[in-house]
Amino acid sequence: MLTFNNGGVNILSKLRALDLAFAAMFVALMAIGANITSWAPFLQVAGVPLSMQPFFAILAGLLLGSRLGALSMIVYTLVGVAGAPVFAGFKAGFSQLLSPTGGFIIAFIIVAYVTGKIVEQVKTPKFGTFFTASTVGIILTYVIGTTYMYLAINYWMHGNISYAAAWKVMMWFAVKDIIFTIIGAVIAPRIYYAVRRSAYQNSRLAS
C-alpha cells in the first residue's frame, strides 16, 4: 500500500484519498487493457483477445501493495460481475468467471496480492525485487489461468483439449506478457519512489 514511515509518522492516514484514486485508476486501466482489441481487432489468438491486463494487475501489486492492489482487482471483478462491460470484448456478468478465460480474472486478484507482498518484504526495494515480483506474478497468472481454462473446457463446457494443448495456445500470449513484465519491472521503481517522495513532501507541508 502507498505508505511511507519517517520519524514515526505514518503517511497512510494522509494518503487515504490518494490510495483510493490509485485503486480506481487501476480498475479503469484493467477495463481499458481488457478491450484493447476493440481498437485493434486483429490482436486475437484462437478467438482469445490479447490484452494488457496481466501487465496492469502486476503493476497494481508493485505500486499499490498487496492489500490495495488486490482490492483494486476485486473491485474490477465485482464491477464486471455486476454488469458493467469491463471484461474482454466488453462482456460482463458472472458467466464470464465460468468461461475459459475466467481463471485469468480470478488470477489477477492473487497476482496483485503476491507481487505486492514480495515488494513489501524489502525495506528499500530495487530493480531486482521488482523484477522478481513481476516474474512470479506472470508465472502465477499463466499457471492459474491456463489450468482453469483446461478445466473449464473439459469439464463444464464439455470440450476436449489436452493440458499441453492449452499451454500451447497460451504461449502465444506469454511472449507479449513477458516483454511487458520486463517493462513493468523497469518503470515500477521510478514510479514507486516518485510517489513516495511526493507523499513525504505533502505530509511535511501539511504538518
CA dihedral 104, 108, 109, 110 (to 10 degrees): 90
Strands (E), the chain: 5-6, 9-10, 44-45, 48-49
| Residue 164 grid cell | 499441453
Q: 66-122: per-residue pLDDT in tens?
A: 999 999 999 999 999 999 999 988 999 999 999 999 999 999 999 999 999 999 999
Pick the residue with more confidence: 177 or 76?
76
| Contact indicator for 111, 140 with CB cutoff of 8 Å | yes
32-36, 107-111, 135-139: which range is least confident on average? 32-36
Cβ atoms 67, 22 nearer than 8 A: no
How many beta carbons lie within 10 A of that of residue 70, not counting itself?
24
Q: Encode pLDDT of 41-55 as tens digits.
A: 656 655 556 788 999
Q: What is the pTM of this model?
A: 0.86
- Residue 204 pLDDT more than 90? no
Q: What is the pLDDT of residue 17?
A: 76
DSSP symbol at 1:
-
Cα–Cα distance measured from residue 124 to residue 126, given in angstroms and rounded to the nearest whole number:
6
**Of 176 and 68, the one with more pLDDT:** 68
Q: 10-38+47-199 — its CATH code?
A: 1.10.1760.20
| Amino acid, res. 126 | K
More confident residue, 36 or 137: 137
Count other C-beta atoms under 10 Å from residue 121's C-beta: 10
Of 99 and 12, the one with more pLDDT: 99
What residue spans define the domains of the chain?
10-38+47-199
